[in-house]
Amino acid sequence: MKKNEKRTSSIKREDVETLAVGIVIFALFLMLVYSFLQSGTFSQNSPQTNQSYPQSNQSFEKEKHYCTPASRNAEVCTMEYRPVCGWFNQSIKCFRYPCAATYSNPCFACADEKVEYWTEGECPK
């Protein structure tokens, strides 16, 4: 190469822009797949039969505390924060696991007529 000759690049601006667009599209695709996996869209639940299956990380079952008539008829509940998972009775048809809701304490869980029993801690995700 001579002193006065300029070296030209073989990469064109259009090629760089095309590559950048491809990278952005690929990144968006990965985010979409990740969001589907996190949302539980591909879970083992069976909406046709309304049956729920525990997730694989739930290897043990927590102790069930069934709501009694006395606990259902409580006039007031304390504002104590002791989260429990209130599991719904058969009148509620759920499409995905868990068929339950988190309540601030057992009193509020049993005050809801849909709750059959509760377990300690927040409901599984």
Two structure tokens written together for 58: 């739930």
Any domain includes 56: no
The structural domain count of the chain equals 2
The pLDDT of residue 111 is 96
Please check whether residues 70 and 115 belong to one and the same domain.
yes
Please check whether residues 116 and 75 belong to one and the same domain.
yes
The confidence band for 19, taking pLDDT boundaries of 50, 70 and 90, is confident
Query: Taking the alpha carbons of 55, 57, 58, 59 in that order, is the dihedral positive or negative?
Result: positive
Please check whether residues 70 and 116 belong to one and the same domain.
yes
Please check whether residues 72 and 109 belong to one and the same domain.
yes
Any domain includes 58: no
**Burial (Cβ within 10 Å: 0-12, 13-18, ≥19) of residue 88:** middle
How far apart, in Å, are the Cα atoms of 11 and each of 2, 15, 16, 45, 103?
A: 22, 7, 7, 51, 61
Average pLDDT over residues 17-34: 86
Task: Render pLDDT for 36-88 as a digit per residue (tens, 0 to 9).
Answer: 776 554 444 444 444 445 554 454 688 999 999 999 999 999 999 999 999 99
The pLDDT of residue 45 is 42
Please check whether residues 70 and 105 belong to one and the same domain.
yes
Any domain includes 88: yes
Any domain includes 1: no
Please check whether residues 35 and 70 belong to one and the same domain.
no
Q: What is the residue range of 95's domain?
A: 65-120
Sheet holding 84-88, edge to edge: 65-66, 115-120, 84-88, 100-103
The pLDDT of residue 55 is 54
Any domain includes 2: no
